[in-house]
Amino acid sequence: MTLVDNAETRSSETSDLDFDAIVIGAGMSGMYQLYRLRELGLKVRVLEAGTGVGGTWYWNRYPGARFDSESYSYGYSFSQEVLDEWDWQECFSGQPEIERYCNFVADKFDLRSDIQFSARVASSHFNEDANCWDITLADGTRYRTRYLVAAIGLLSAPTMPRFEGIEDFKGQWCHTGLWPKEGLDFSGKRVAVVGTGASGVQAIQEISKTAEHLTVFQRRPNWCTPLHNRPIPKEEMEEIRAGYPEMFTLCQQTAACFVHTIDPRGTFEVTEEERMEFWEGRYAGQGFGIWQGNFRDMLTDREANRLMSEFVADKIRKRVKDPETAEMLIPKDHGFGTRRVPQETHYYEVYNKPNVKLVSMLEHPIERITETGIRTSEQDYEFDVIIYATGFDAVTGTFDRIDFRGTGGQRLKERWTGGPKTFLGLMVDGFPNMFMIMGPHAALGNNPRSIEFNVEWVRGLIGYMEERKLAVAEASAEAVADWNAFVHMKGEGLLVNEVDSWMTGINMNVEGKQTRTIVRYSGTAPEYRAKCNEVAADGYQELKFS
């Protein structure tokens, strides 16, 4: 740690602060950060673009939106009261219940009194003269704060395809991540869904139930596996509650904070019979068990991955009646689990319905959107509604949309050209007193578990600074370079990093995001937490306090 004794200058230079801390975003990260920073006696304001709390679970209100993690493992763990009072209704709860949960937490801790809604941050500039951040909202309002926490999510900048004529369409259209609060009624309508990632798969299952006709436009198929959702009876919820301590401990031990544990055996260390029995069990089991609880080499050994992919391909062939459609739904360009696995409930059976048609955009690309529908290279389709389930400018995209400028006026977006570089996913050199929750190169997975850890780490550092009256903390360039090298080293040999997806920084709809980069930390969460804890325990040697 480098320390300049500046207790006096700190208060006099920044007497015109509006807040001690500004948190951008009132999703699960921002809500919890507010709660923790209040504990330090700080004056905190959360700036939220929406009109309610929940972030992801506020915006993504498309039909079928639900957890892919077990509900009880996804809630906050920090408050015994919340754990005692909240009963999850389903093993994998739907968006309405999740939004209710976020509101329940906000009400319990009176979070709303420090949250400003409909406040979209346009820019955040570090002011080197006053050692603080100058924030400007889209409506021109300005705030000054000492600490800035970007709790803006890693999948919260929706992206539309670059089709010609999108605005020409005379029917209704929207993106799954910007779903209208009043909802959309599909009954008696001809509906198109473009995109078959996790959002598209969830939406397609539901929309097919009420639409008169549904046409799914699929570019590259994904490997989807059964969610096996069900309600949680009251008595079972009591058992879950009694088991919370053990369950949260387990989440701290697993690689990506899920309740599923990787099988320590290699794919070829068991007989073929044992292997098939194991995979059948996983396919019949709940949630991500088949992805996060598979053989240890499933995502590193090509042959193991090929066999697993064949296993799932056979399931698809058995579930989809028309063999040609089944083949269209089987990925040919990537192996199982190398992209995020969408979780499904009768998804494949949707394609057996007479009112559903699958169009492969690999064979017949969309040429343009017309006033009445969609024109592919093959034919014109007429629709009443078009849904774009086309994903997000992930990980760095939410940062790119705010004009973050650090010391010397440097732009964060430019610093991250060619891939993000951070210290622990929490800080960036040249951006003093700015912290990120779930930033690039932080541990992801079952996100609330990582959110709680990141928030508490930031609280720890700010508490450390407050105690010592330190004005500014900044990650050193060496610390950022070291962390970057470590993250890249951890990504070596993983099949997931050889495939195009948001997890490798690819978004064909966004300028400059066509080259694979390491945007995620691919080590284990326990290792990540150990590194972060070590930094704090050693008095933040990697930071410059000045």
Task: Answer yes or no whether residue 195 interacts with ligand NAP by CB under 6 A.
Answer: yes
Q: Which stretch binds ligand NAP (CB under 6 A): 76-84, 236-244, 387-395, 407-415?
A: 387-395
Rounded-to-integer distance, Cα 336 and Cα 339, Å: 7
Give the list of residues 6+ apart from residue 19 with CB closer than 8 angstroms, or none: 42, 43, 44, 45, 143, 144, 145, 146
Q: Given candidates 27, 54, 94, 391, which one binds ligand NAP under the rule CB under 6 A?
A: 391
CB of 83 within 8 A of CB of 9?
no
By C-alpha distance, which of 403, 19, 384, 413 is closest to 213? 384
Residue with Cβ nearer ligand NAP (165 or 430): 165
> Pick from 36, 45, 66, 405: which binds ligand NAP (CB under 6 A)?
66
Q: Which is nearer to ligand NAP, 237 or 361 (CB)?
A: 361
**Could you tell me which stretch among 14-22, 196-204, 320-328, 510-518 binds ligand NAP (CB under 6 A)?**
196-204
68 or 400: CB nearest ligand NAP: 68
CB atoms within 10 A of CB 47: 25
Question: Nearer to ligand NAP by C-beta: 36 or 66?
Answer: 66
3-state secondary structure of 317: helix
Can you tell me which residue has the tokens 């089709």?
163
Binding residues among 479-508 for ligand NAP as defined by CB under 6 A? 502, 508
- The least CB distance from residue 56 to ligand NAP, in Å, is 8
Closest approach of Cβ 534 to ligand NAP, in Å? 29
- Cβ 34 to ligand NAP shortest distance, Å: 23
Q: Taking CB under 6 A as the criterion, which residues in 509-528 touch ligand NAP?
A: 509
Q: Express the helix, strand and coil content of the chain in percent, nearest 5 each.
A: 40, 20, 45
Determine contact, residues 470/4, Cβ cutoff 8 Å: no
Q: Hey, what are 210's tokens? A: 């009420």
Does position 446 interact with ligand NAP (CB under 6 A)? The reply is no
319 is an interface residue for ligand NAP by CB under 6 A? no
The residue at minimum Cβ distance from ligand NAP is 197
Nearer to ligand NAP, 68 or 70 (CB): 68
Min separation Cβ 482 and ligand NAP, Å:
28
Please tell me the distance from the alpha carbon of residue 408 to that of residue 101, in angstroms, as a whole number: 42
Instruction: Scan for tokens 């995020």, then name that residue.
Output: 340
Q: Dump the DSSP string for 414-483.
A: HHTTTS---BTTTB-TT-TTEEESS-TTS--SSHHHHHHHHHHHHHHHHHHHHHHT---EEE-HHHHHHH
DSSP class of residue 178? G
Find the shortest distance in angstroms from Cβ 444 to ligand NAP.
Answer: 9
CA distances from 236 to 239, 244, 261, 368, 474 (A): 5, 12, 22, 51, 47
b/e burial code for range 273-287 (CB count within 10 A of at least 16 → b): eebeebbeebeeebb
Q: Nearest distance from residue 70's CB to ligand NAP, in Å?
A: 11
Of 260 and 340, nearer to ligand NAP (C-beta) is: 340
155 lies in the binding site for ligand NAP (CB under 6 A): yes
The minimum distance between CB 195 and ligand NAP, in angstroms, equals 3
Selected from 52, 200, 331, 432, the binder of ligand NAP by CB under 6 A is 200
Site string for ligand NAP, 333-372 (x = CB under 6 A): -------x--------------------x-----------
Stretch that binds ligand NAP, among 123-131, 264-272, 384-392, 527-535 (CB under 6 A): 384-392
Stretch that binds ligand NAP, among 28-36, 252-260, 389-397, 409-417 (CB under 6 A): 389-397
Instruction: Pick the closer one to ligand NAP by CB: 131 or 309.
Output: 309
Give least dist CB 384 to ligand NAP, A: 20
Q: For the purposes of burial, counting CB atoms within 10 Å of the CB of 133, is it exposed (0-12), middle (13-18) or buried (19 or more)? A: buried
Q: Is 172 in the site for ligand NAP (CB under 6 A)?
A: no
User: Please, which residue, 342 or 432, has the CB nearer to ligand NAP?
Assistant: 342
Mask for 218-257, x = binds ligand NAP (CB under 6 A): -xx-------------------------------------
Contacting residues for 314 by C-beta, under 8 A, at least 6 apart = none
User: Kind and range of the H or E element at 523?
Assistant: none
**Alpha-carbon gap, residue 107 to 99, rounded angstroms:** 12
Question: Which stretches of 182-261 are assigned E, i.e. beta strand?
Answer: 190-194, 213-218, 225-226
Q: Residue 375 interacts with ligand NAP (CB under 6 A)? A: no
| 195 vs 373, beta carbon nearer ligand NAP | 195
In sequence order, the 6+-apart residues with CB closer than 8 A to the CB of 12 are none
Q: Find out whether 427 and 434 touch, Cβ atoms under 8 Å.
A: yes
Do residues 331 and 223 lie in contact, with contact meaning Cβ atoms separated by under 8 Å? yes
Which parts of this chain interact with ligand NAP (CB under 6 A)?
66-68, 155, 161, 194-200, 202, 219-220, 340, 361, 389-392, 502, 508-509
